[in-house]
Chain A
């Protein structure tokens, strides 16, 4: 019954109702579990079981802190922030590094091609092997912003809220990611 009611409610309404009834929080969890699991998968080397643990812990943490929900921001930004921090802590505990697991996405390829003098054909053709290995070599900070910008489709303001960095810093990180990509590409140029 609650499940059906949820569909007509937005995130903030569900947050307000969840404080007194965990069933409403279940609706929020259902709404985000897939997205959040995919997000964690894109920037960590964790196996499915660990990803599920990270997301589950994040949900419980979020539920306990519902009254502190920064709902002036988007609920999704607040939730992504919690999951991001949970995943980073999990990786630190297990001495793992940040990865970038991305698909051959048009917007991403266009961004990569612009100002780098690398031909679009090369990027597209070699995306799954060579391009991905270069992306892997980027600094963890760069990988994080690239995943959020191009594969979670977050705008600068949302990335700023998720990573808790000023918007200017987010823009700088994205710009530097491309510079570093170009440097690695030129250093190891095989094509």
Chain B
């Protein structure tokens, strides 16, 4: 069954004939360092994504979609880069994902708590062109009546209609029998978001009413 081999002789002959040389050490060192550097940068972006998403969800000022996407994409990138490092195979894949997620949530949470997430948002707005178009203020999204989105503060309520003042100070007459979502109290002074159709220059037929602040923010405000 076993056959006497001369594999080594053939391999050595090939190495010498084709002048095969070991690849220089610096190439492997550079690749290794590049991998770790990429992992650290990716982890940093994950943390930033989590921090700013946290800020946007809690304070409800900016739309969180881009930053949530950043967080998810860089969670994946961090995992893939870590998996390419030399000793990664010694850890379970799930353990790595959980560890990176916890690191992202913990440090991202600290970033938010320290107030750095909002600073990042403001700095990007000031320095990066089109940033605010990509990450609009929620006010901008909900101040677009021709597309069916309107928001503002209730200033008067009658039986079949009520009036709101939008964030530009314009008064709107609202009609309809809307579905009311979340903990909206239909009282004067309440800030709300409306989905419906613009019916005139200052009139709006509403299909759905939502609270201006998310549930998380409402709870925080109640606590305070």
Q: Using a CB–CB distance below 8 Å, which chain A residues touch chain B? A: 18-19, 22-23, 25-26, 29-30, 33-34, 37-38, 41, 48, 52, 55-56, 59-60, 63-68, 70, 160, 164-169
Q: How far is the CA of A71 from the CA of B142 in the complex (A)?
A: 61
Residues of A within 8 A of B158 (CB): none
Min C-beta distance of B13 to chain A, whole Å: 10
Kindly identify which residue among B10, B25, B28, B89 contacts A165, using a CB–CB cutoff of 8 Å. Answer: B89
Q: Find residues 142-170 in chain B having any chain A CB closer than 8 Å to their own CB.
A: none
Residues of B within 8 A of A (CB): 1-3, 5, 7-8, 10-12, 14-16, 20-25, 27-28, 86, 89-92
With A29-B11, A67-B28 given, can you name 8 additional A-B contacts, CB distance below 8 Å? A18-B22, A29-B7, A30-B8, A34-B5, A48-B3, A52-B10, A63-B20, A67-B25
15 A-B residue pairings within 8 Å (CB atoms): A22-B12, A29-B7, A29-B12, A52-B5, A56-B7, A56-B11, A59-B11, A60-B20, A63-B22, A66-B22, A67-B23, A70-B86, A160-B89, A165-B89, A166-B92
- Which of chain B's residues have a CB closer than 8 A to the CB of A19? 22
Chain B hits for A30, CB < 8 A: 8
Distance in angstroms from B20 CB to nearest chain A CB is: 6
Which chain B positions have C-beta within 8 A of A160? 89-90
Q: Which among B12, B28, B92 has the highest number of chain A CB atoms within 10 Å?
A: B12
Q: How far is the CB of A84 from chain B (nearest CB, A)?
A: 13
Residue of A at shortest CB range from B26?
A: A67
Contacts of B27 in A (CB 8 A): 67
Separation of A26 and B10 alpha carbons in the complex (Å): 10
Give chain B nearest CB distance to A32 CB in angstroms. Answer: 9
Interface of A is mostly: helix
| Inter-subunit contact B92/A65 (CB<8 Å) | no
Provide the bound-state CA to CA distance between A63 and B15, in Å: 9
CB-based contact A33/B92 at 8 Å: no
Q: Is the CB of A64 within 8 A of B2?
A: no
Q: How far is the CA of A114 from the CA of B8 in the complex (A)?
A: 41
Q: Which residue of B lies closest to A20 (CB)?
A: B22
Query: Shortest Cβ distance from A12 into chain B, in angstroms?
Result: 15
Interface-centre pick from A18, A64, A68, A167 (highest chain B CB count, 10 A):
A68
Tell me the bound Cα distance from A27 to B7 in angstroms: 12
Across-interface contacts of A165 in B (CB, < 8 A) = 89
A169 contacts B92, C-beta separation under 8 Å: yes
* A164 and B8 contact, CB distance less than 8 A: no
Of B1, B5, B11, B22, which contacts A65 at CB under 8 A?
A: B22
In the assembled complex, the CB of B19 is this many whole angstroms from the nearest CB of chain A, namely 10
Q: Are A55 and B7 within 8 A (Cβ)? A: yes
Q: Which residue of B lies closest to A67 (CB)?
A: B25
- Neighbouring B residues of A29 by C-beta, 8 Å: 7-8, 11-12
B-chain residues with CB within 8 Å of residue A60 when the two chains form the complex: 11, 14-15, 20
Cβ B5 vs Cβ A68 within 8 A: no
State which of A23, A34, A56, A68 has its C-beta within 8 Å of the C-beta of B14.
Answer: A56
Q: Determine the residue in chain B with the shortest Cβ distance to A81.
A: B89
Is B8 within 8 A of A26, CB to CB?
yes
**From residue A173, how far is it (CB to closest CB) to chain B in Å?**
13
Residues from chain A with Cβ under 8 Å of B20 in the complex? 60, 63-64
* Contact (Cβ within 8 A) B5 A64: no
| Residue with the highest number of chain A CB atoms closer than 10 Å, among B2, B11, B20, B27 | B11
The answer to whether B5 touches A166, judged by C-beta atoms less than 8 angstroms apart, is no
